[in-house]
Amino acid sequence: MERKGKASLEDIARATGVSKMTVSRVLRGGTGFSDDTKDRVTQAAARLGYIPNRLAAAFGADQASTLVGICVPRLTSGLFGQVLDGVERALSRLGYQAIIGTNAYEAAEEEAWVRQVSSWRPAGLILTGRVHTAGTVELLRSNALPVVEIWDLTTSPIDLSVGFSHRDCGAEMGQFLLRKGRRRAGYVGALAQADVMGRARMEGFAEALAAGGHPLVDREVLLDRPGFYQGYYGLETLLARSPKLDVVHFHNDEMAIGGLHFCQARGIRVPEDLGIAGWGGMEAASVLPKRLTTTVVPTTAIGKASAEALVARIRGEAPQEVTVLPTRLVPGETA
């Protein structure tokens, strides 16, 4: 009589008449066996109540690690949540498990996380951005760890890069607003001393405006994290100094929505009196009465592509070194 619960690979091999190694390959999503063998093994595993030992798979000395570390700036961001979803889904399909960490936009915190997770002997790492400490880069290279840098594209990656140019995002929005006839632009941002990617968007925006003959009039970049209230307060502060602005570009959509609420509270018509533009294509903007002018970012696609590229590198294949995933400017109705 077949026993239920705590079934082992040996039990499945005995029930199906194949080797333990073949059972292991089938259950790990490998290749080199027939469809009939795959069906028999998976059916037997289900019948016997087999539960895979993920710790053994990840840390076993007799096989390669299946752990992949991914570090993002913060877990409270909806955008990074979508990136993580794309990573996790792809890794799971490919037989790997994700270890998630955060760095709060601090390169030193990223280095500490990389040192910690490296002691677990991961198969590879996915890091957000292209700015790292010298210690992080040296650690990755000395351990020959496959690594994908995501979100902020670099043409000279440590190993692989998947993402887009934040500076180009800002420049594209600046050019669009100039074509719309806006001539007195402001900017409201956040994480002034930490988010180099947000800074790159602001700089690209300012450069495009200057190149078009209408330089950025004023900016309010908060030390705080981006959010609805920060957008409300940031716009209030900016307009107190520069009341004649005709458009304001925000760090992200959440801040832009906060700005829209400030305009509503003060009787400022959007877009007639003041144009409002965001960034990110965040879900919260989908329920606004007017469609927000913004830039949509391929978050889930970045997660999926980075996981697939990393696993290809881990398996000795030759993935594309730099993968560009384009953003999309949405004209909307607010600018």
d(CA 301, CA 221): 29
Contact 259, 250 (CB under 8 A): yes
pLDDT, position 131: 94
Count H helices and E strands in the chain, helices first: 12, 12
pLDDT, position 28: 72
d(CA 57, CA 66): 7
Contact 255, 228 (CB under 8 A): yes
Residue with tokens 């001393």: 193
Tokens of 170: 């800002």
Domains plus CATH for the chain? Answer: 9-52 (1.10.260.40), 67-164+299-326 (3.40.50.2300), 166-296 (3.40.50.2300)
pLDDT, position 2: 41
- Which helix (H) or strand (E) segment is 77 a member of? none
d(CA 153, CA 201): 13
DSSP 280: B
At 202, the amino acid letter reads: M
| 93-123 core/surface letters (b: 16 or more CB in 10 A; e: else) | ebebbbbbbbbebebebbbebbeebbeeebb
d(CA 150, CA 138): 19
Helix 196-211 vs helix 166-179: crossing angle, to nearest 10? 30
DSSP 186: E
pLDDT, position 53: 57
pLDDT, position 58: 52
Q: Residue-wise pLDDT tens for the chain (335 aa)?
A: 344 446 778 888 898 888 877 887 788 776 778 888 888 988 888 888 776 655 555 554 445 789 999 999 998 888 999 999 999 999 999 999 999 999 999 999 999 999 999 888 899 999 999 999 999 999 998 888 999 999 999 999 999 999 999 999 999 999 999 999 999 999 999 998 899 999 999 999 999 999 999 999 999 999 999 999 999 999 999 999 999 999 999 999 999 999 999 999 999 999 999 999 999 999 999 999 999 999 999 999 999 999 999 999 999 999 999 999 999 999 999 99
Contact 253, 294 (CB under 8 A): yes
d(CA 13, CA 11): 5
Question: How many beta carbons lie within 10 A of that of residue 244, not counting itself?
Answer: 9
d(CA 11, CA 3): 9
